């Protein structure tokens, strides 16, 4: 058993919950606390899990509203590492510099490609054929830190958001098994990102979920339905003051006679 490290697990979603199950198998004693969101937070987690599920691990749980207001709490926990696996708040430099050995996160693309917001949604909307998960050190620059490891996978044309999400969870589990022991031993790789390959994904809003029948092509409509499906809020058609949400669709080319 690997001992003598203080790791804080920062997560508020299913991705982080599933990865934590792998982490405790490796060395539960090193994970000293779980930091998650309280029911008072304004941060919306589409893929959140019930807060009581974090207590299944028999590790102290701290529920917070905003990570950047918790310098005192984090200082008192004196972490060697903070590992972020599913968090939708931008973290300031003071918090990032707090753990003595580094602040580590996961991102559901192959960095430096796919930096930025809505990575799963963008992967489908942009029609990418390859994706994966990256474990890396966070810095003050967005998704810019040294890479610990990556796992690649194919993105099929019929994947919905949930399919891609599940592939990302499986990739994250592999990264956790492979590299968490090295993180604890201070032997994890630090591979600088190739700046000339950097691609930033565009920001998305709820307006992007709208299907515009008179404007969008059938291919674009199909992508929207898949990209915004569960765990997200669904692609929709506006009907007066109502929305028709479409969760599933088939795309077929009709043969002309």
Distance, CA of 257 to chain centre = 47
Query: Would you give the DSSP letter of residue 223?
Result: H
pLDDT of residue 2: 55
pLDDT of residue 67: 97
> What average pLDDT values come out for the chain (257 residues) when binned by 10 residues?
82 98 95 97 93 96 97 97 96 96 97 96 97 97 96 97 98 98 96 95 91 93 97 94 94 69
pLDDT of residue 252: 77
pLDDT of residue 251: 76
Domains and CATH numbers, the chain: 7-200 (3.40.50.170), 206-246 (no CATH)
DSSP notation for 110-171? -TTEEESS-HHHHHHHTT-SEEEEEEEE--SSTT-SPEEEEEEEE--TT--HHHHHHHHHHH
- pTM comes to 0.93
Give a three-class secondary structure readout of 52-101: HHHHHHCCCEEEECCHHHCHHHHHHHCCCEEEECCCCCCCCHHHHCCCCC
Contacts of residue 31, Cβ cutoff 8 Å, sequence gap at least 6:
7, 8, 9, 20, 23, 24, 57, 59
């Amino acid at each position: 058993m690997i001992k003598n490290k203080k790791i804080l697990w920062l997560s508020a979603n299913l991705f982080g919950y599933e990865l934590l199950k792998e982490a405790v198998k490796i060395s539960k004693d090193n994970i000293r606390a779980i930091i998650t969101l309280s029911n008072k937070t304004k941060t919306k987690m589409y893929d959140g899990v019930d807060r009581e599920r974090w207590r299944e691990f028999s590790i102290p749980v701290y529920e917070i509203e905003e990570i950047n207001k918790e310098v005192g709490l984090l200082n008192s926990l004196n972490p060697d590492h903070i590992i972020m696996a599913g968090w939708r708040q931008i973290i300031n430099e003071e918090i990032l510099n707090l753990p003595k050995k580094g602040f580590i996160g996961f991102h559901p693309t192959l960095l430096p490609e796919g930096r930025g917001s809505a990575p799963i949604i963008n992967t489908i909307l942009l029609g990418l054929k390859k994706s994966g998960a990256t474990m890396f050190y966070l810095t003050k620059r967005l998704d810019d830190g040294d890479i610990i490891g990556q796992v690649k996978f194919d993105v099929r044309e019929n994947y919905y958001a949930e399919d891609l999400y599940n592939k990302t969870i499986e990739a994250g589990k592999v990264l956790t098994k492979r590299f968490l022991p090295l993180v604890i031993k201070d032997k994890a790789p630090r591979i600088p990102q190739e700046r000339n390959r950097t691609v930033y994904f565009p920001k998305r809003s709820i307006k992007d979920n709208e299907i515009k029948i008179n404007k969008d092509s059938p291919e674009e409509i199909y992508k929207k339905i898949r990209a915004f499906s569960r765990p997200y809020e669904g692609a929709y058609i506006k009907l007066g003051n109502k929305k028709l949400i479409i969760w599933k669709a088939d795309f077929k080319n009709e043969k002309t006679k």
